[in-house]
């Protein structure tokens, strides 16, 4: 097995003393610890993402996480801080606004775990009726890991095809329980200031997918996200984290020129190993780290 010189690890939800946020696909804190400790025992070094493009003397790993949910921040950041391990949290800042703007992707996760099967089936039928055949095929391809067609249609149709406004209108009204689940889902900005080894970065305001209106997307999602971070006294890293697969006709690479002008050094996405040169930087998903880096499997 060929070991990369640099491995960028990608996490979302990590469950431990603080439970995983509802609707997520978490790894346990025990598995996270197994992965990190195994790498360190094998001679890997850890470094901050902000120094990703610096030369390294040996295999080096970088820990990244997306969204800024409380299960990640409360379970992982204290453990890493105690051991001098660097992390990078890409933060969605909409929940910090005076009238919180919760990410559509997370609203969908909440809806999928809180509503009856029949109501979800009816919602999926409504969404499916608004999609063209090519759009349905695109959803099926991007969300092929979702074997349930109801879940796949709701997630893919709302996240990738419908406008945020249209999707949120279809998901209304939210119950009190659903609103509570959203309100308690995201970490507050002051918490990150407790840690010396925890970097933060921009991940958009609302987590909506990139469409073909690239410049407008930068103006509405990325620039305000940076402003929110700085307003809260946080220093954003030079790496933007793409929230999800782009809408049909758009590509992550479309952002490159704009992001370079803004001083970014790269765009984090999913998909495996980085070539150490490209502006678009793929990462190794948490569920694939053992297999990808030749570590002993951890049974969960």
pLDDT by 10s per residue, the chain, length 300: 678 999 999 999 999 999 999 999 999 999 999 999 999 999 999 999 999 999 999 999 999 999 999 999 999 999 999 999 999 999 999 999 999 999 999 999 999 999 999 999 999 999 999 999 999 999 999 999 999 999 999 999 999 999 999 999 999 999 999 999 999 999 999 999 999 999 999 999 999 999 999 999 999 999 999 999 999 999 999 999 999 999 999 999 999 999 999 999 999 999 889 999 999 999 999 999 999 999 999 987
Considering the segment(s) 6-98+186-293 as one domain, its CATH architecture is Alpha-Beta Barrel (3.20)
Strand-strand pairing, 45-46 and 239-241 = unpaired
* Backbone dihedral angles phi then psi of residue 239, each to the nearest 5 degrees: -125, 125
Look up the pTM and report it: 0.95
**What is the per-residue DSSP string for 90-140?**
EE--GGGSSS----HHHHHHHHHHHS-HHHHHHHHHHHHTTS-HHHHHHHH
* Dihedrals phi, psi of 91, to nearest 5 degrees: -105, 130
Please check whether residue 221 is in contact with residue 204, taking contact to mean a CB–CB distance below 8 angstroms.
Answer: yes
Report the distance separating Cα 216 and Cα 131, nearest Å.
Answer: 24
């Amino acid at each position: 097995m060929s070991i990369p010189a640099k491995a960028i690890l990608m996490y979302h939800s990590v469950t431990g003393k603080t439970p995983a946020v509802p609707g997520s696909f978490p790894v346990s804190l025990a598995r996270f610890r197994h992965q990190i400790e195994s790498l360190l025992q094998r001679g890997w070094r850890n470094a901050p993402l902000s120094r990703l493009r610096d030369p390294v003397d040996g295999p080096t790993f970088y820990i990244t996480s997306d969204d800024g949910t409380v299960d990640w921040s409360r379970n992982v950041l204290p453990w890493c801080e105690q051991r001098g391990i660097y992390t990078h949290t890409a933060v969605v800042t909409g929940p910090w606004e005076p009238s919180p703007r919760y990410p559509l992707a997370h609203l969908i996760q909440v809806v999928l775990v809180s509503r009856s099967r029949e109501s979800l089936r009816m919602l999926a039928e409504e969404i499916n009726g608004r999609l063209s055949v090519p759009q349905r095929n695109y959803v099926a391809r991007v969300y092929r890991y979702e074997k349930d067609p109801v879940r796949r249609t709701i997630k893919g149709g709302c996240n990738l095809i419908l406008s945020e406004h249209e999707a949120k209108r279809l998901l209304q009204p939210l119950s009190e329980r659903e609103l509570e689940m959203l309100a308690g889902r995201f970490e507050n900005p002051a918490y990150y200031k407790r840690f010396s080894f925890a970097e933060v970065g921009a991940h958009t305001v609302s987590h909506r997918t990139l469409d073909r209106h690239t410049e407008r997307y930068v103006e509405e999602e990325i620039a305000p996200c940076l402003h929110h971070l700085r307003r809260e006294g946080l220093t954003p890293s030079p790496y933007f984290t793409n929230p999800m697969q782009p809408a049909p006709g758009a590509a992550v690479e479309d952002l490159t020129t704009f992001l370079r002008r803004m001083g970014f050094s790269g765009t984090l996405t999913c998909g495996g190993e980085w070539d150490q040169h490209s502006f678009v930087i793929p990462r190794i998903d948490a569920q694939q780290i053992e297999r990808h880096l030749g570590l002993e499997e951890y049974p969960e």
